[in-house]
Copies of this chain bind each other. A is one copy, B any other.
Amino acid sequence: MLRGRFSRPLDRAALALSESTAEDRRLIRADLWGSRAHARMLGEVGLLPVPSARRLDRGLAALERAVAAGRFRLDPRLEDVHLNVESELTRRLGEDGERLHTGRSRNDQVATDLLVYLREALLDLEERLGGLVGALLAASTGPAGRASVVGWTHLQPAQRVYVGQILGTHALRFLRDAERLRSIRERLTDCPLGSGALAGSSLPLDRARTAQLLGFARPSPSSLDAVSDRDASVEALAALALFSVHASGLAEELVLGAMPEVGRVRLADPFVTTSSLMPHKRNPDLAELIRAEAAPALGRLTAHLAMLKGLPLAYNRDLQVGKPLLFEGVARAQLVLDVLTPMIATATFLPGRPAAPRPDAETSSVELVDRLVARGVPFRAAHGRVAKFLAGPSVAGRALRALPRDLLSGAFPELGPEELAFPPEEEEAELRTTPGGSSRRAVERLVAEIRRRRGASRRALFAERRRLARWRRALDRPFPPVRRYRSQAHK
């Protein structure tokens, strides 16, 4: 640990509370990338002798390989990833390792690491969300998607809809989640590196150069902000909480649909479990766990916001508490997506156990109202008459379409015979042809819209990955010919 001016070491429990090596392993690749960019810039502007910069760069590249091979473990006694890297580098390179931190503070370093990490994490989540959207669209447009079920409001029978619209609606939500993550990612443009502890540096650092090498658009505009801003973490946790809420809604429908009483879905064996006691059980544990995951997701968001509340400028150590919240949030969302996608892809969607006719399950009731309206009956009056009719004794547990015609025409003399005919229930959804409605045509348009937006997202995602890979490779190029690099930072 870094003790500088102190002669006594940190208290043992204090070290345990303050060290962050367990979570920092998620940052190590970002940290090494950042250090390579910093070292190269130091060499370019002459703050390091070029040979030192070269040695540092090679040493960091060797560490990257060690990390990739699982041969570099963070030592908790060295507190965090930053001191672990500096210490290992110094062990390997001697004095040059001690030059790496020139003009830098852990404050701007960790802020930079977090953004680089988050950018990768968001790209990864966008891609996985695209996979889930794809699985939902596939199910939506397959034969099961073309079957109709009773649509629920308040979990009560409302009107019939196609399974494809239900699945497409979930796809739409996850697509929005992906777009939301993308828009967060596209605002990660300002590089904190070079902001020092809080106030920048009096060394001629070239911040534009490190920003560029790390794939950012520009250096951040205020050092006080750069070292303490955690907006991006909060935005990501908020978007992930909302995603997890969407996932929990879909999971709830899977849990309900898998009830034998409901019978709308059969999850494939690799996604159900049995009981340690009851051998007959077929439990949708995975769907339950996905439903539950929304709870810690919102807990993490709450925790991060509560941690930030009331913090004065600039860096405060409280910020450390945010790191594991972010990392855990990303990792759990990845896991949820990795389960949900094949669970959907392998599930069998069924039309549901047929319900006995009941007056409060009469999904055609609005048709009757609308036909009265077409005959000039004011809507509210028509609604009232149908309500009373359905609740009345003459219906007695029969569906509208099964009622004797004269019973209907007695109650609704305005309507002619063709207006008293109701389509078979599996064609009911077809009647509602408004855009966005339940008809097959409308569902096809929904699917087309999702496909279009999903395609655009994927193209943007891959373009960004290529861009970043280019900058990443730029660091492997030999140093430019030695020159007094003309710093753009200090004119």
Contacts and interface: CB of A to CB of B under 8 A. Distances in A.
Given A151-B314, A446-B221, A207 B280 contact: no
Nearest to A296: B303
Nearest to A304: B295
Contacts of A370: 103, 201-203
Contact of A151 (B198, B235, B386, B434): B198
A155 to B, nearest CB: 5
Nearest to A200: B437
A89 to B, nearest CB: 10
B165 A270 contact: no
Contacts of A152: 198, 312-314
A156 B365 contact: no
Count chain B CB atoms within 10 A of each CB in A197, A202, A282 and give the residue with the most: A202
A255 B152 CA distance: 12
A209 B184 CA distance: 33
Interface centre among A96, A196, A319, A429 (most CB of B within 10 A): A196
A199 B435 contact: no
Interface in A286-312: 286, 288-296, 298-312
A401 to B, nearest CB: 13
Interface string A433-453: 111111100100110011000
B279 A436 contact: no
A390 B312 contact: no
A344 interface: no
B224 A489 contact: no
Contacts of A3: 274
Given A7-B269, A280-B360, A431 B202 contact: yes
Nearest to A453: B221
Given A154-B316, A199-B429, A378-B95, A273 B224 contact: no
Interface string A1-27: 111111111110110111000000000
Contact of A9 (B104, B205, B270, B295): B270
- 3 interchain residue pairs of minimum CB distance: A200-B437, A299-B303, A98-B378
Given A151-B199, A241-B305, A302-B306, 14 more contacts: A14-B270, A17-B336, A103-B370, A152-B198, A154-B284, A252-B311, A261-B355, A279-B383, A280-B362, A283-B317, A291-B318, A298-B303, A298-B306, A301-B305
29 contacts: A8-B270, A14-B343, A47-B373, A95-B378, A98-B379, A101-B276, A101-B379, A151-B198, A153-B283, A166-B313, A195-B437, A196-B434, A201-B437, A205-B434, A219-B436, A221-B450, A223-B438, A235-B242, A253-B313, A260-B361, A261-B352, A276-B383, A279-B365, A280-B363, A283-B317, A291-B309, A294-B305, A295-B304, A433-B489
